[in-house]
Chains A and B, each alone.
Chain A
Amino acid sequence: MTLRKLLLSTALVGVASAASAEIKVGFIGSLSSDTGLSTLRGAEMAIEELNAAGGVMGEQIVLVTADTQEDVTEGVKAYEYLAETEEVDFVISGSIDDVSLGWLPRMQEYQIPTLDTWTSYIGIIDMVVEDPEGMAPYFMNIASDEALATLYINFGADVLKAKMGFESVVVLAEDTAFGEAITGLVTEGLAPVAGIEVKEVITYDIGTVDFAPIFSKAESTGADFIYQVSSVNSQVISSQYVKLQVPMAMTGVNVSALGLEYWEDTGGAGGGISTLSPVPSVGFALDPVSQKFVDDYQAKYDSRPKMPHFNGFNAYYGLKQAMAAAEEAGGFKDVAAWSSAMLKQDLKLEKDGKLWLRYGFWDYDTVEPVTNRTYPHNALFDLEAPYDFAQPSMVVIQWQEDGTVGVVYPFEYANSEFVLPSWVK
């Protein structure tokens, strides 16, 4: 061997060992949305803390990002980039449902351990049930939408019917698949269980800028309250509801109200709006550990989102759990071993001596007692008071007219009361 060859091979070995002496985490999600940034920043903070404590298995963790622009095809490209070009060990996702569904076949192909922090689509958990081997690397640490909806039906019975005395509802739903799905849950679940009559379902186009005629039509139905279903440009319908002082109560699902920026996004016209939200949400009292995470977050980042959305917490805790599982499984390469170790992760956070938040996963066999089905690899949740098994799958939050926000349901987590806007008699 010549000296040149020896030097070259030594250099190559050096490069190879330097490249392998790190754990590579890939973030997949939108880099320009509050949702995507919440997951990214939660992951960044977890990695900083882990690295400061010596890393994982003696190796430092590095983070690479791939933007999906909330576009399905870009999501596929982004996952391929992380898998093939960056050769990441673990993927953390802040993708929306459609985008996750787009890259899922790639995850099944590459078998890279992956944690979804925002997507709640129950169909993905069904895939884990049907194909446990192919879906072994996949985990979702937000309660699936079926669990969200199940608890929301209780809100209808306990608050809307029992407390407010509402007997009938008119549904204002955006003309999307999301709108259609949630409307189905309301008409088939909420209404019959809570004993609330659905007077009419009004569907509006997502490009609607003037809601006055739609609110007039809703009023003319004579219903007691409006149930809105809005995920696109949600601040438009809610701010017009306030500005027009529509004389009916309005609750439902309003995605824009999930962030602390909602108040300024609506120009201060967001009072009275309530929406279901996964936990932790804005207005949700935090346990000391989560509060420290938020304090550190706000000290580190000075741009929106001012407070991480629920998926930021999911990323922060979930990434640490994924690394702990890797420590136990000897890395990420043995996917079955990692998956098994991840399934055992269980973080319990208490507040005032009460179990407040729990980050763990349903296993393959445990049947959830309320829905009577399994949720393997989905975040643990509790659908019944007193929530001593885990946190509820969702809470209902309400923005008040002074710009404050609080949890109004379930009662065990409530820090304010569900009230009608001042102009509704």
Chain B
Amino acid sequence: MGLRWYHFALWAAFAAGMFLLPEIVPRGTLRTIIFANFLAIFAISWDTLSGRTGYVSFGHPFLIGIGAYTTAILTKRFDVPVEISIPLAVLMTMVGGLIVLLPALRIKGSYFALVTLAMMELMYQLVQVIRPDLTGGTRGMSGLPTLTRGAVNGFYMSTALMLSIAFTTWLLMKTRLGTALSAIGMNEEAVAGSGLSVTRLKLVAFTASAFTAGLGGAVYVHYLGSIAPRALFDINFVFTIIVAALIGGAGTTIGPILGAFFLTFLLEYLRPWLPGAERYLIYGGVALVLYMYQPKGLIYLMGQAVRRVRKGAA
């Protein structure tokens, strides 16, 4: 697996640094980090499937939405406790996602991307017209039970979740399975030629991705306390997730986290100067320039910087 002690030391330092933040930064910043944490979870989920295997999904909110809506409906309409509804929502995301999206893994490239996009659109339309008494229709649902109250508690919850998911994903990707998934992204035929079952590998990647998306979506909705289809199944939401993964560094675990934090803070720090939609113009421009300058993402730029410092020191 190529694991070294300093890998774990770095993870421990990262976690310790994160958990110290409430002592250092104001509550407003903690609120921003909460949204960055959730975006990081969604970006990790997307990257597990798309960043590794090269099967680009444009419909990731479809999976996030299954998790979010399942727990929202269970808690709001059937008074199911959150401790039960969230695991059920994760299970539902994995099963529902498998039934609907797995056949799509047989197709490749832009066709796969289009099918996933269509799935998201289908979900958007369905929640509005099928049983709006359950889903809340176009209005969605509000007054959902929230898991935490206050910025600090929300920060600890979202950070713990994000770190757990990131660490687990990192460990998974350090196994031979992770190597095989990355190999699919490079040359699927070669992987098949080596005797490995590509379908089975993609199934694992998809299931892991769905698990993360479902868990993230379910917890997210109980952080917000509300859910609305227009906000969830929105093309901008898809792009934000994809851009976070790409700008940070696709095919890595830390990359999507970096990208999510960069994008979320960029948007929030622009708010006092550009309170309207103009912020998104800057955000799009910065993302474009960064991606064109270094397609491997921020993680690669950071690696280069560290190497330069080391060389200078030597």
Residues of A at the B interface (CB closer than 8 Å) are 31-32, 64-67, 69, 71-74, 76-77, 80-81, 84-85, 97-98, 101-102, 104-105, 109, 127, 175-178, 180
Cβ contact within 8 Å between A67 and B275? yes
> Which of chain B's residues have a CB closer than 8 A to the CB of A77?
31, 35, 268
Known A105-B226, A176-B137: A31·B231 in contact at CB below 8 Å: no
CA distance A242 to B289 in the complex (A): 49
Residues of B at the A interface (CB closer than 8 Å) are 26-28, 30-31, 35, 128-129, 132, 136-140, 142-143, 146, 149-151, 224-228, 230-231, 234, 268, 271-272, 275-277
Would you give 27 A-B contacts (Cβ < 8 Å), ordered by A?
A: A66-B271, A67-B271, A71-B231, A72-B140, A73-B224, A74-B231, A76-B226, A80-B28, A80-B151, A81-B268, A84-B26, A84-B27, A85-B28, A97-B139, A98-B139, A98-B142, A98-B228, A101-B139, A101-B226, A102-B142, A102-B226, A105-B142, A105-B143, A105-B146, A175-B129, A177-B132, A180-B132
Instruction: Determine the residue in chain A with the shortest Cβ distance to B145.
Output: A105
Cβ contact within 8 Å between B224 and A177? no
CA distance A71 to B277 in the complex (A): 12
Shortest distance in angstroms between A234's beta carbon and chain B's nearest beta carbon? Answer: 15
> Which of chain B's residues have a CB closer than 8 A to the CB of A85?
26, 28, 31
Shortest distance in angstroms between B126's beta carbon and chain A's nearest beta carbon? Answer: 12
Shortest distance in angstroms between A64's beta carbon and chain B's nearest beta carbon? Answer: 8
CA distance A175 to B128 in the complex (A): 9
CA distance A108 to B140 in the complex (A): 20
CA distance A48 to B138 in the complex (A): 38
CA distance A211 to B89 in the complex (A): 40
> Which of chain A's residues have a CB closer than 8 A to the CB of B228?
71-73, 98, 102
> Which of chain A's residues have a CB closer than 8 A to the CB of B150?
109
CA distance A31 to B231 in the complex (A): 17
Instruction: Determine the residue in chain A with the shortest Cβ distance to B27.
Output: A84
Shortest distance in angstroms between A94's beta carbon and chain B's nearest beta carbon? Answer: 13
CA distance A105 to B271 in the complex (A): 22
Known A65-B275, A69-B277, A81-B268: A76·B128 in contact at CB below 8 Å: no
Known A98-B139, A102-B224: A73·B231 in contact at CB below 8 Å: yes
CA distance A180 to B234 in the complex (A): 23
Cβ contact within 8 Å between A80 and B31? yes
> Which of chain B's residues have a CB closer than 8 A to the CB of A81?
28, 31, 268, 271
Known: A81-B271, A97-B139. 7 other contacts (CB 8 A): A66-B271, A81-B31, A98-B228, A101-B142, A105-B142, A177-B132, A180-B132
> Which of chain B's residues have a CB closer than 8 A to the CB of A72?
140, 224, 226-228, 230-231
Instruction: Determine the residue in chain B with the shortest Cβ distance to A76.
Output: B224
CA distance A80 to B136 in the complex (A): 24
> Which of chain A's residues have a CB closer than 8 A to the CB of B30?
84
CA distance A76 to B142 in the complex (A): 12
Instruction: Determine the residue in chain B with the shortest Cβ distance to A206.
Output: B138
> Which of chain B's residues have a CB closer than 8 A to the CB of A98?
139-140, 142, 228, 230
CA distance A105 to B226 in the complex (A): 9
Which of B128, B137, B142, B149 is within 8 Å of A109, CB to CB?
B149
Cβ contact within 8 Å between A67 and B231? no
Cβ contact within 8 Å between A84 and B35? no
Cβ contact within 8 Å between A104 and B142? yes
Cβ contact within 8 Å between B137 and A180? yes
> Which of chain A's residues have a CB closer than 8 A to the CB of B28?
80-81, 84-85
Enumerate the 3 nearest inter-chain pairs by beta-carbon distance, A residue then B residue, closest first: A85-B28, A177-B137, A84-B28
Shortest distance in angstroms between B206's beta carbon and chain A's nearest beta carbon? Answer: 26
> Which of chain B's residues have a CB closer than 8 A to the CB of A175?
128-129
Cβ contact within 8 Å between A177 and B35? no
CA distance A64 to B149 in the complex (A): 25
> Which of chain A's residues have a CB closer than 8 A to the CB of B271?
66-67, 81
Instruction: Output the residue of A72, A109, A175 with the most chain B CB within 10 A.
Output: A72
Cβ contact within 8 Å between A32 and B226? no
CA distance A164 to B30 in the complex (A): 61
Shortest distance in angstroms between B142's beta carbon and chain A's nearest beta carbon? Answer: 4
Instruction: Output the residue of B132, B142, B151, B277 with the most chain A CB within 10 A.
Output: B142
CA distance A71 to B224 in the complex (A): 13
Instruction: Determine the residue in chain B with the shortest Cβ distance to A77.
Output: B35
CA distance A375 to B276 in the complex (A): 34
Instruction: Determine the residue in chain B with the shortest Cβ distance to A105.
Output: B225
Instruction: Determine the residue in chain A with the shortest Cβ distance to B276.
Output: A31
> Which of chain B's residues have a CB closer than 8 A to the CB of A84?
26-28, 30-31, 151
CA distance A80 to B268 in the complex (A): 11
Known A72-B226, A81-B28, A102-B228: A177·B277 in contact at CB below 8 Å: no
Instruction: Determine the residue in chain A with the shortest Cβ distance to B142.
Output: A101
CA distance A73 to B224 in the complex (A): 8
> Which of chain A's residues have a CB closer than 8 A to the CB of B35?
77
CA distance A160 to B119 in the complex (A): 45
Cβ contact within 8 Å between B136 and A32? no
> Which of chain B's residues have a CB closer than 8 A to the CB of A127?
143
Instruction: Determine the residue in chain A with the shortest Cβ distance to B271.
Output: A81
Instruction: Determine the residue in chain B with the shortest Cβ distance to A174.
Output: B138
CA distance A84 to B272 in the complex (A): 13
Cβ contact within 8 Å between B230 and A177? no
> Which of chain A's residues have a CB closer than 8 A to the CB of B140?
72, 98
> Which of chain B's residues have a CB closer than 8 A to the CB of A101?
139, 142-143, 226
CA distance A178 to B234 in the complex (A): 20
Instruction: Output the residue of B129, B136, B139, B143 with the most chain A CB within 10 A.
Output: B139
CA distance A32 to B228 in the complex (A): 20
CA distance A77 to B272 in the complex (A): 13
Shortest distance in angstroms between A315's beta carbon and chain B's nearest beta carbon? Answer: 17
CA distance A66 to B267 in the complex (A): 12
Known A81-B268, A97-B139, A98-B139: A71·B31 in contact at CB below 8 Å: no
Instruction: Determine the residue in chain A with the shortest Cβ distance to B38.
Output: A73
> Which of chain B's residues have a CB closer than 8 A to the CB of A80?
28, 31, 151
> Which of chain B's residues have a CB closer than 8 A to the CB of A177?
128, 132, 136-139
> Which of chain A's residues have a CB closer than 8 A to the CB of B225?
102, 105
> Which of chain A's residues have a CB closer than 8 A to the CB of B230?
71-72, 98
